[in-house]
Amino acid sequence: MRAALQRVERLGDGFLRHVAIWTGVAGLLWSVASAAVRPRSWPRTSRIVLGRQILFTGVDAAGVIGLVALLAGVAVVTQAQLWLGQLGQSEVVGPLLVAVIVRELGPILVNFVVIARSGTAIATELAGMQVRGETGALNALGVDPFVYLVMPRVAGMALSVLALTVTFVTVAVAGGYLFAAALGMVHASPAKFLGNVFGAVAPRDVAAFVVKGMLPGAVTAAICCIEGLGVSGSVNEVPQAATRAVVRSLGGVLIVSVLTSVLTYV
């Protein structure tokens, strides 16, 4: 009986700990959204950090995203045209592409790449600044760490992930079509093929696409900032903070994606 009560207590503690973590993430996102709409929250230093974050996350990662999108598009379009074409159902290739690439695969893969590439960088950078006492020095100089370190990174990640998701979908659809056409698997013209794709896009798909393109990136940045700034001062905590940031960011991306799909399509 005592052992059972201890297990229940551990489960309750774990549940409350996770609730506290995600409540903190939601609170940070609300603070960022509230501050970002005020012009005085964007001094020159914060705008510079925002630009650098967009450059690192959005521009520098475009090549990797393009390659992943091309491979994904080739796989999906080829298989769809191969099997559905043989069954005389080529007209459903467009809706299938929208369901697989636009609704689910594109946003998730883009966020996974961003987490591995930029999320770890944010957590490691901020944890290193915390260990070296640089965040305390910013406070001493009258610089708000939230405005200078957190807000531009969260906003930059959200905008970059949305742009990368648009890039992913464009490259995946175009590259997959060109590959399948080169192999003789697609007989429809590009205009007809794109017409089938765009014809399958509903207004709710656009809304869900924007949410999945921006919110997971913001969640990832918020988690990485919290983990990076949460170290106590030991250099040994830096890799641990980066690991926690990656794991929790992956969970956050999947939770946001699933909830958005359920609320949009169910």
Q: Could you give the CA distance from residue 219 to residue 226 in angstroms, rounded to a whole number?
A: 11
- Per-residue pLDDT tens for 108-130? 999 999 999 899 999 999 998 88
Q: Could you give the CA distance from residue 30 to residue 61 in angstroms, rounded to a whole number?
A: 27
Q: pLDDT higher for 36 or 192?
A: 36
Q: Give the CA distances from residue 43 to residues 36, 132, 134, 147, 200, in Å, rounded to whole numbers and listed in that order.
A: 11, 24, 19, 9, 43
Please report which confidence band the pLDDT of residue 22 belongs to, taking 50, 70 and 90 as the band edges.
confident
Is the pLDDT score of 9 beyond 80? no
Mean pLDDT of 46-66: 92
pTM above 0.75?
A: yes
* DSSP collapsed to 3 states, 191-227: HHHHHHHHHCCCHHHHHHHHHHHHHHHHHHHHHHHHH
pLDDT at position 110: 94
pLDDT at position 88: 44
Q: Could you give the CA distance from residue 163 to residue 88 in angstroms, rounded to a whole number?
A: 35
Q: Could you give the CA distance from residue 256 to residue 251 in angstroms, rounded to a whole number?
A: 9
Q: pLDDT higher for 5 or 159?
A: 159
